[in-house]
Amino acid sequence: MTAAEPLWHPSPNFGPRRQGRAPALIVLHYTAMETAAAALERLCDPVHEVSAHYLIGKDGRLWQLVAEDQRAWHAGAGEWAGQGDVNSRSIGIELDNRGTHPFPEPQMRCLEGLLGQIMTRWRIPPEGVIGHSDMAPGRKLDPGPRFDWQRLSRGGLARAAGVASAAADPSPQAFRQAARQRGFTAEVDDATLLETVRLRYRPWGRGALCAADLAPLLD
């Protein structure tokens, strides 16, 4: 699947990647704004000091705001797989969505095409496609519970969740160890970690930690 040709809409909010790093991650966001036009204005406003490499509208329109070899300001504080400065290690994609409704088909098709191209250009594996909430647990929720991670994983565009069933409910320590092995290394309390992993793999999950929470983290 190929992505639409992006419309160049440059943002002043970027800089060089620190220490010459190349992108190894792709971070997905939602804009939490009413329209793509409002998001474009915000992402290109030097006062707000935020940006992303790409923005995808609900109708599948694609804008590029920052060149991929540059450091956009989209991720903020957090870490993934023990590494900080996620901005220098990643490409950020904003999706026009308030976080309260499903992501439309034209938008998802455009995202799939764009992800495939970026992953090929920079040799980023499916495990390198993460949500903003994954690397900033407790601080960010996007792309949120309405985002279809399973669709991406079926297409080889995100890590596929494990389906093995644990024999018994895991301890918080065992769950944390498995989560860290999958990249969730930011220092948060047990409740926040559980909420973060559920948001990615089973947003319908409720209640205490259980075997179903551990299963997606397993091979």
3-state secondary structure string, 36-54?
Answer: HHHHHHHHCCCCCCCCCCE
Q: What does the pLDDT read at residue 15?
A: 97
- DSSP structure class, residue 80: B
Q: What does the pLDDT read at residue 201?
A: 96
114 and 180 co-located in one domain: no
Look up tokens 């409910």; give the residue: 169
Q: Does 139 reside within a domain?
A: yes
A 10 A CB-CB count for 48 gives: 12
Q: Does 162 reside within a domain?
A: no
Q: What does the pLDDT read at residue 51?
A: 98
Regions in the chain scoring below 50 on pLDDT: none
Q: What does the pLDDT read at residue 171?
A: 95
Q: Say which of 94, 105, 127, 195 is annotated catalytic.
A: 94
Q: What does the pLDDT read at residue 1?
A: 58
202 and 138 co-located in one domain: no
17 and 86 co-located in one domain: yes
Q: What does the pLDDT read at residue 166?
A: 57
Q: Does 164 reside within a domain?
A: no
Most distant pair of Cα atoms in the chain: their distance: 53
Q: What does the pLDDT read at residue 163?
A: 73
Q: What does the pLDDT read at residue 3?
A: 64
Closest CA to 155 of 111, 123, 105, 210: 111
172-181 and 190-201 helices cross at what angle (nearest 10)?
50
122 and 189 co-located in one domain: no
Look up tokens 């940006």; give the residue: 51
Taking the mean position of all CA atoms in its chain, how far away is CA 12? 23
Domain that includes residue 189, residue range: 172-217
Q: What does the pLDDT read at residue 215?
A: 93
Is 94 a known active-site residue? yes
Q: Does 211 reside within a domain?
A: yes
Q: Does 134 reside within a domain?
A: yes
How far from each other are the two terminal CA atoms of the chain, in whole angstroms? 27
62 and 107 co-located in one domain: yes
75 and 130 co-located in one domain: yes
Q: Does 114 reside within a domain?
A: yes
Q: Does 180 reside within a domain?
A: yes
Q: Does 23 reside within a domain?
A: yes
192 and 143 co-located in one domain: no
Q: Specify the number of domains making up the chain.
A: 2
